[in-house]
Structure 1
Amino acid sequence: MVRISVDVMGGDVGPKVVIPGIAKALERHPDIRFCLFGIASQCLPLLDSYPKLKAASTFTDCEIAVGMDEKPSQALRRGRGKSSMWRALDAVAKGEADVAVSAGNTGALMAMAKFCLRMMADIERPAIAGIWPTLRGESIVLDVGATIGADANQLFDFALMGGAMARALFEIERPTLGLLNVGVEEIKGQEEVKAAGQLIREANFDKIDYYGFVEGDDIGRGTVDVVVTEGFAGNIALKTAEGTARQIAEYLRAAMSRTLMAKLGYILAKGAFDRLREKMDPRKVNGGVFLGLNGIVIKSHGGTDAEGFAAAVDVGYDMARNGLKEKIENDLKRYHAGRSVAGAADSMSDGI
């Protein structure tokens, strides 16, 4: 049984999307038990329409819903202990749930998560990991917006966490990992990226195959299972990819309706177009994972629909079922301990 706490009020629409979404997720994963947090007058009438979901859930009435436009500091002051977002996170902190899912305000969710769950030992900054559709299947890209301007040590930690997530999500023993750079040559790029590459090579990971530097077009190709970057570049890459997918979809829609022959061609190739639409559907890869916290938190896109929210729940289910938190903790302990020993040895040799 996987216990998932849900901020039912989060997102652009709130319960009208969240409740049908978690009902879809329950159909796919009957072993989920939900801890639902929201405003009773808005949630319970909808929940009554899904008897199977209601039977598999507990519901807690909350006083406050965090607004999508609230500043993180304001949301933290106003919603601490009282909002559906806080209560969903607190359920994970108290061990009452294995993972929290919210489509709410990203900044507020990150601020509350850091305050409520705290950071893991040896982790300075959190990362948001996104699941990226590629020509080979799917890859993980982190950070896509949590930490702007990460240094070499933080990128090293992102590599550890991304590798652990790949093992939990894709269930592969040794995922491949690359550092996003402006070229594959070792002399290119920012000093922080080059230094991070050296740290990763010297660590000689036993559960990650370090590929080296990768470029922007390698993300879509699926050259590696995990792409590591800092949040500024990662967020721009994410938004560019989403915009390009919508642009291509509009081009195809316009082209297929322009002439009678084009419409006929679309009818004849409808199966292929349906597969393309499925592959490019951003709902299928919805769900960013907050990494570096003492608990698993999944951020759903605020504007998604029920199918998209169900996909975010699916990600949380896989992360909890495959022990993401334990994998990250074990890797951090092993490699940070090794680096500490190496640093102490270097200090002693310098003294001699």
Structure 2
Amino acid sequence: MATISVRRSPSRMLSSGTTRYVAGRLGQALLALFGVVTIVFFALRLSGDPARLLVPDGATAADIDRLRDKLGLNASLWDQYRHFLGNALHGDLGYSYVQNRPAIDLITERLPYTANLAVAALLLSLLFGVTVGVITALNRGKWQERVLMPIVLAGQAMPAFWTGLLLVLVFSVGLRWLPSTGYDGPLSLLLPSITLASLSAAAIARVTRGAVLEQLPMDYMRTARAKGAGGFRLVSRHLARNVAIPVLTVAGLELANLLGGAVVTEVIFAWPGLGQLTIQSVSARDFPVVQAIVILASGVYVVINLCTDLLYGVIDPRVSTGGKGEPA
């Protein structure tokens, strides 16, 4: 008796592989988020007693104990942790010890400033990094590379606080072109975003240059050149898709780092974002606010990395199907 074999369609195989890939990455993301939040919760409790900072001078031990009881700090660490997790799962991240306001409200007020700063810095990083990376790769050994690569190396070597101080001295103190601190319109965004973008731009430039140099000897590039492709057409029609994955990888990581690394830049420029709030809250041992900021930053970091991984599958479907793409 003849047997009938059922063959799965390529689209169904691709869909199944993509679903498993997404589910696996999502599970890893949630596990990472849980681990970070747990570590920060217990690390904060080792930093000291916030009640001692909140009571006025001359307060007695009984006053401190009553405040600790009011804040829930007299409970065991395990009970505090269970209470924190239970409330967090319901969207309640607690009240600020210092300002007696919901921690989420304080973050919501500051988040737009940090988000604007991070996005502006990322756009500057991509514009400079990708442009310089492509130019130096296509002109290897020429004057363009000799001029631009030292700038890239200097940008990667200089810490953000030093770059920020130099920019303030030149453009605010010396030339008086731009404001040095605070938020007072779009011009206030320039110096902080350039400072924050300096390290990321250098990293993106080096990754882009390496990716382009790796693709230049390929057969399809020689064929494109033989057909007369050059300049913008060579980059946009032939190189762009093949160098997108490494550039996308570093861009996704840099965006997450920009959100988390804005603390130093915000302190230098007195920027009213989450970085300033983090420093103030850590100094005051305002546990609920610090925990809420960490949850938000970790969540953003995890989401950005997850979206980056998923975009790999859009650019190259073999990534989400275990390297098995559709049959020819």
Q: Which TM-score applies when normalising by structure 2?
A: 0.28
Higher relative contact order (CA 8 A, sep 6+): 2
Return the structure number with greater strand share. Answer: 1
Q: Which TM-score applies when normalising by structure 1?
A: 0.27
